[in-house]
Each structure stands twice: as C-alpha cells, then as structure tokens.
Amino acid sequence: MTLVAVVPAMAVAIYCRISIDKSGRREGVEAQERWGREYAAERWPDAMMRVFTDNNLSAARDNRRPGYDELRAAIRAGEITHVWTVEQSRLERRKAPWFELAAELIASGIHEVHTRRDGLVRLDDIGSDVRAIVNAQYVADLKKKIRDKSAELAREGRPTGAIVFGYRHGVDELGRKALHVVPEQADAVRWAADAVLSGWSLTAVADELTERGHRGAQGARLRTSSVRCLLTSPTVAGLRVHQGEILGRGNWTPILPEDVWQSVRARLSGPRTIRRRDGRDYPVSDAMFAGNASRTGRRYQLTGGLAVCAVCGAPLSGCRVKRAGNPVPYLRCQPSRGGRACVGILMQPTDNYVTDRLFAELDKPAFLAALAADEHTARRGELAAALTALDAQRGELAGLWAAGGMSTTEWTAARAGLEQREQALRAELGALPAAPARLAGIEGAREAWPAMTLDERREVLRLFVARVVVDRAPAGRRAAIEERVTVEWRSAR
C-alpha cells in the first residue's frame, strides 16, 4: 500500500445571515455572499468556496440555524481552512457559544475569522473575547430597551425634572429640555467640594454657604443633608442617572470634574478605616465628620484612634486624672479600651505639640508635594485619563456613524461596550480613597484653627497624620515631649 501525502485544498467558508430587523439596515444574504466571494477571490484565488446561509434568523435567540450547524460540522470535519463573514456577530452573538465556536475553530487550525466590518478577528487574541462581550451586551441592552422606555429616554441624555443646586431648567437651541449652569451657585458647589476634601465638616460648609447668601433648592436654609445632597448628586458631574444606575454623560455642563466628584463621594460615603498597629481596622464613620463633638462624644482631637500606645498598640483614650486636687485631662492606654495601662501623658501639651508639628510641616513645600504624591495619585490620574479617552472615542464613533462609516447596529454595540468600560472605570475611581492633594482649604484651616470645632480639627489632623505614637517616659527623669511623642505622617506610610 502506498501512502499519498494529501495537501488539503484551501476551502473558504462564507457564512451569511440576515436577522429580523425592523428599523436597522437590511443586508440581504445575496449581498453578503457577493462580498464574501469578492474577498475570497482576491485573497485566496485558488481556494474552493463554500457558502453557508441562514435567512431571517437571529443569532441572539436559541433558534436552530441549519446553515450555521452545517458550517460547524464542516469545521469539525476539517473541511474548512478559512472563514469569512460580514461581522463577528453574524456568526455568534452569545458569549458562551462564541467561545465554544472559537475553540472549535482553533482546534481545526483556524486562528482567525475574516470579516468585512471587524477586520481580522484573531481568536487567540483577547480582542475577540471583548467583541463577544460587546455583542452579548448589545443584545442585553436591546432587551432592556424594549422593557423600559423611560430608561431609553434617559439614555438620550435629557435631564430629569428634579431641581439641582447649581443649575436651572431651560431649553436648548433646539427647544429640548436642558440644564443651564447658575454661575454663582456653581462657584459655591466647587468651593464646597474643595472644603470637604480639605477636612471641613458639612455643618461648617452649610454655615459658610448660608453666610454667603445661598439658599437650598426650595429656598430653605442649607443644612448638612442638603449640602451632602448637592455635592454627591451625579448631575453636578454631568452624569445622568436612571433608577440609581449611571447611564453616561448628560447634555449639560458639569460643575465638578469627575475625579473631584468621585473623591467627594468617597469622602462622604461609607466608613473609612484606619489600620491600627495591632492589625485591626478602626472605622472612621462619616457621623464623626458631619456631626459635632457632643454628638460623637469626642472631647479630644487625638482620641478615637489617632493616638496609639507605643508599647501595646492600643488606641489611647481621654480621661481625667487628679493633679494637686484638680482633674487634668490625660491621654492613656486604658485596659477598659483594649490597652494595658502602658502609657499616660498630659493631653493638652500633647495636643499642642502635634498641632505645632503639623503647621511647621505645612510650611515646607516638600511636605505638601510628598502628600500630593500619595500611592493612589498615579492610578487616579490613569482612571481620569481613561475616562477622558473614552469620551473622545465615543465622539469619534458618533462621527463615523453620522458620516455613514458605521451602521446603527454597530454603533449601538460599540457604545454599549464603551458604557460598560466606563462603569468599571468609574467604580474603581470611586473606590479609591479621597485625594489628599486637594488642599485648597488648608490655608483657611490654619487661620480658622482656634475657631474650629473639635471634629473639624480632628478631620484636618487625619488628612496629614497617620498616627501619633506615645511612648513611656524614660525611667528616673522628666522627658521632653518630643522624646515621647512621634507623629507619623500619612506620606511616610
């Protein structure tokens, strides 16, 4: 018996499908076949062509597609060497089946799908996975749109009817509903954002805005809750929301840049945690931030986790110790609060020492520069840049679509992919801690220090001070305060 080496002939599979589409452009299978044949004839002149066709069938539903099944059987049988289709979603729009198909193609030695719209879809590339996800997203979006007409309206970027501080309702040049910026209110929002990020309490911000003559939306006095509301509203960042879900950019001008808005939100929402020396996390709730000293029960700026014991790592608490018949405030490692009675130090000189150290450091430009370069600065910048790039990309796509370079279907799918990515970026940015670099209110804080409430002072300290570590007094002599108290700055961590 003679073995004949068989060199497999090239066989190009041309897959054509038109889905039932009432509004979009219809591309008949005849046209698709013609494009496929032209492409194949030019690229693989000697190849055999096989056409697989499904007419009026959707790739998104689980309907049987005889042409597609035939194609897959041919692929599995090793009868196909190249595949062409108009766009990847004609073959498979569902995510999991697409990965299955890709796996079968790769198993048959086919590592790419040639398309008219998507170019060469490389199967071993992450790009094709992403495209499949975009296609799945497009179907999900389409279904959702049919279900929810009001979401569809919101998607168009029209503002809701709510009154938002910083804006007034009006119409644009085309007579559609629009939001117009009220300049003096917008200034107030920007100032308030900087103040919050610099450690001002919401109460202090509300008071200051009231003093500057601002009133709430309904003419009411601005309070803590209204200030929180106006700063955290997605509207001020130019974002539109439907049922709590951010849908993308509105057609109005944002007052706060997105990274600033996200930082303010991060700052005002959810407890922040401080890691203690014993490895446990100490939650700093925003109640402490928004309220006043009497509400949180704090009477000293270093208590509540800022000052810790050098010996056992427990947070120091405030107490009063009798000295020559008079009770004097002390900072102590309290067994009742998880300590071991290791250290005790006079409260007032310690407070003064830490405050003096802070203001001395603030005089050094290098100190602020080091703080500005916190560990998240680079990532924050990257995310903000990525969001801006997404905007640009969205604009380019819209331009391409308007110029006829892209079908409505493709454009919708591409946009859905961008929105998904945008949500992910925004979520990550929101999860980063507030930027300590926004120090616009710090000069004011220094001057206002004597008049500040304890909570406000504590907030300013927390912006800069990681921990105040108090050690034991050396045996047999009186130690200077700087021998016993070490201020650990945030930038040094």
Q: DSSP of 360-386, one letter per residue?
A: HHHT-HHHHHHHHT-TTHHHHHHHHHH
Please report, in angstroms and rounded to a whole number, the separation of the first and last CA atoms in the chain. 78
CB of 333 to Zn ion, least distance (A): 3
How wide is the angle at C-alpha 188 spanned by C-alphas 187 and 189, nearest 5°?
90
Nearer to Zn ion, 192 or 333 (CB): 333
391 with 249: CB under 8 angstroms?
yes
H-only helix segments in 286-338: 286-290, 293-296
What is the helix (H) or strand (E) element at residue 417, kind and residue range? helix 408-431
Name which of 49, 43, 132, 47 is nearest 87 in CA terms: 132
Q: How far is the CB of 242 from Zn ion (least distance, A)?
A: 53
Residue 124 CB, shortest distance to Zn ion, in Å, is 59
E runs forming strands in 7-106: 11-17, 48-54, 82-85
The encoded tokens of residue 356 equal 């003096």
* C-alpha closest to that of 85 among 14, 18, 26: 14
The span from the CA of 146 to the CA of 207, in Å, is 47
Smallest distance, Zn ion to C-beta of residue 302, A: 15
CB of 464 to Zn ion, least distance (A): 24
DSSP state of 29: H
CB 339 → Zn ion: shortest distance, Å? 4
Positions that interact with Zn ion (CB under 5 A): 309, 311-312, 314, 333, 339-340, 342
Q: Rounded CA gap, 346 and 328, in Å?
A: 8
> Measured from the CB of residue 208, what is the shortest distance to Zn ion in angstroms?
40
